[in-house]
């Protein structure tokens, strides 16, 4: 396998167990994926890095039908509640129709290849797929 790097710094690819890491405010427990100097909730300045649950529920979604040139449409943009942490990501491996995507749908984190550079290094992103979709170990994708 070629070398892989995560597209975002909060995606961890180690040991075949991909997951997300968030910065959790020590004062109020708010979680952020980007670097913070202070918490947007309470103003606290101390954070701990914590692992985010890899399964969750779709809390909001939209089916995107118009995007920048080169971005295939339609696709499903969503907000997933991962045990109290809100994650913005696409729902993948599902037909992007209102009949197939629904609020409360159970989903799990999956990695998706984004591209390969001239040196053979693969950039890897993430999305969420329905829990009832076959996983990679069950023969999916």
Q: What pLDDT shows up at residue 73?
A: 96
pLDDT in tens, 1-48: 578 999 999 999 987 899 999 999 999 999 999 989 999 999 999 999
Mean pLDDT of the chain: 92
**86: pLDDT confidence band, cut at 50, 70 and 90?**
very high
Q: Where are the domains of the chain?
A: 4-132
Buried b (16+ CB within 10 A) or exposed e, 121-141: eeebbbbbbbeeeeeeeeeee
User: For domain 4-132, which architecture applies?
Assistant: Beta Barrel (2.40)
Q: What is the pTM of this model?
A: 0.88
Residue 55, both tokens? 């399964």
């Amino acid at each position: 396998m070629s070398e892989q790097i995560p597209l975002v710094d909060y995606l961890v690819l180690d040991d075949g167990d991909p997951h997300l890491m968030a910065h959790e405010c020590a004062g109020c427990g708010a979680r952020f994926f980007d670097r913070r100097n202070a918490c947007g909730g309470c103003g606290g300045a101390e954070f701990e890095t914590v692992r985010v649950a890899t399964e969750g529920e779709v809390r909001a979604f939209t089916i995107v039908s118009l995007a920048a040139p080169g971005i295939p449409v339609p696709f499903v943009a969503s907000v997933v509640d991962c045990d109290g942490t809100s994650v913005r990501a696409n729902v993948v491996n599902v037909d992007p129709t209102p009949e197939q995507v629904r609020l409360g749908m159970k989903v799990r984190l999956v990695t998706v290849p984004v591209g390969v550079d001239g040196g053979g290094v693969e950039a890897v992103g993430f999305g969420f797929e329905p829990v009832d979709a076959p996983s990679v170990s069950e023969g999916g994708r």
